[in-house]
Amino acid sequence: MLELSRADLHVSISDPAATSMNFLNEIAGRYPDAISLAAGRPYDGFYSVEDVARYQQSYVDHLRGRGLGEQQVRGLLLQYGRTNGQLGELIARMLEIDEGITVPPESVMVTAGCQEAMIIALRALCAGPDDVVLVAEPCYVGLTGAARILGVEVAPVPETPDGLAPETVAEVARQVRAAGKRPRALYLVPNFSNPSGVSLPVATRRRLLDVAAEQDLLLLEDDPYGLFGLDDEPRPTLKSLDTGGRVIYLGSFAKSCFPGARVGFLVADQTVVGEEGKRTLLADEMSAVKSMLTVNTSPISQAVIGGVLVESGCSLRTANRDKLAFYRNNLRTLLAALEEHFPQPGRGELGVRWNVPSGGFFAVVDVPFQADEKLLERSAEQFGVLWTPMSFFYTDGGHHAIRLSCSYLEAEQIAEGVRRLSRLVTENA
């Protein structure tokens, strides 16, 4: 059999993030009894296999109810379809109801999960080697990985405990420009970010939109966790505040429905001006990229999400009340367990601190030792608990911090996981 040298393959093959995630999966496989505070997946128990066919049927009924004949319905489900998908209207209605985002259905592109939305947005916007994407750091590995696939340069903007500082964004943009390059876009997760759990205050959101206009940046707003706040405080999306058309909204159904559908979307309602002043919609232009990645998103998967939207009256905020209660309880359990196992008097001596996210799936714990892969392996083997080294999410940094996830487990397991973690910390402090 032919042997290829790994050094001859593209650099994304050796992506450190992919390697790290593989390592995590491998450790999880080797220690199946370890409690995983590493898995950021949604909880499994909200759906059953039978729901899939029912949702598809609901969507088919919806199409028939709109007067489509059998041949048309069959074509929509089984044939190649429109590159940008068939859920534009339902998703636009959902964005209006749930997020106060008003956009034309044609500006919605349905994608093969939010990951594809990221790479399409990056590819469309970053035209040449001088185009740079800014990212809030620590950063979700899917975005930096997508940039690596395309050879797009990434400029990190350090996140503070209150999220990104708009002035730092402006500063990094100026540095990029001073280096002869073009800062093209900024990627961020404004609500309960992955991995940090941090959210952006509303005033900061408004200021960030101003900075985007000043620095001629587009904002790639990724919002997979927005529905899952600890309180009912409204957190307006950047897109809903965006009067200048600076935001490309990236959407996921992995947490609000389930990951197996692999359906996400992007909203790109900006105008593109071409030769002879011809005006088109950015989402339509981006379809040229989408068609060369996956042609179109599986209509069978779209039908499942279409059914969820139809059954919920296009309000996932309403449909997700049970999930919201579950995830709230999980995050509260995580934070309470940290309080319990790292009590205030001793905490300082141990050198342990954590942030208190106002929602979402993640919290970050600072620890007084190097939290690397070697320690992770020992943690799995000797203490029966898994977590994610924060260094996975930095170009260089996060060496003394770990990410804890509380989405996949039930509350008792979370409490037990933190108890085990406290033993690891005590032994290493």
Q: How far is the CB of 345 from its own copies (least distance, A)?
A: 41
> 329: which residues sit within 8 A by CB, 6+ positions away?
411
Asked if 65 touches its own copies (CB under 8 A), the answer is no
Q: φ and ψ at 32, to 5 degrees?
A: -65, -20
Q: How far is the CB of 152 from its own copies (least distance, A)?
A: 10
Q: Which is nearer to its own copies, 243 or 344 (CB)?
A: 243
Asked if 67 touches its own copies (CB under 8 A), the answer is no
For its own copies, the binding residue among 90, 91, 148, 421 (CB under 8 A) is 148
Asked if 429 touches its own copies (CB under 8 A), the answer is no
Q: Find, among 252, 259, 261, 256, the residue nearest to 55 by Cα.
A: 261
Scanning 109-117, 226-234, 327-335, 336-344 for contacts with its own copies by CB under 8 A, the matching segment is 109-117
Instruction: List binders of its own copies among 267-306 (CB under 8 A).
Output: 269-275, 279-280, 282, 285-289, 291-301, 304
Binding-residue total with its own copies (CB under 8 A): 93
Q: Could you identify the residue written with the tokens 């996140």?
A: 159
Question: Contact 334/40 with Cβ under 8 angstroms?
Answer: no
Scanning 79-87, 153-161, 347-355, 372-380 for contacts with its own copies by CB under 8 A, the matching segment is 79-87
Q: Which is nearer to its own copies, 146 or 338 (CB)?
A: 146
Instruction: List binders of its own copies among 244-263 (CB under 8 A).
Output: 244-246, 254, 258-263
DSSP for 296-327, please give it: S--HHHHHHHHHHHHHTTT-HHHHTHHHHHHH
Question: Contact 413/333 with Cβ under 8 angstroms?
Answer: no
Q: Find, among 217, 301, 295, 292, the residue nearest to 259 by Cα.
A: 301
Asked if 325 touches its own copies (CB under 8 A), the answer is no
Asked if 102 touches its own copies (CB under 8 A), the answer is no
For its own copies, the binding residue among 35, 95, 112, 364 (CB under 8 A) is 112
Asked if 70 touches its own copies (CB under 8 A), the answer is yes
Question: Contact 55/301 with Cβ under 8 angstroms?
Answer: no
**SS3 at position 154:** strand
Token output for 192: 């309960």
Scanning 189-197, 264-272, 307-315, 398-406 for contacts with its own copies by CB under 8 A, the matching segment is 264-272
- How many Å apart are CA 78 and CA 302, to the nearest integer? 11
**Cβ neighbours around 266 below 10 Å, total:** 28
Instruction: List binders of its own copies among 356-395 (CB under 8 A).
Output: none
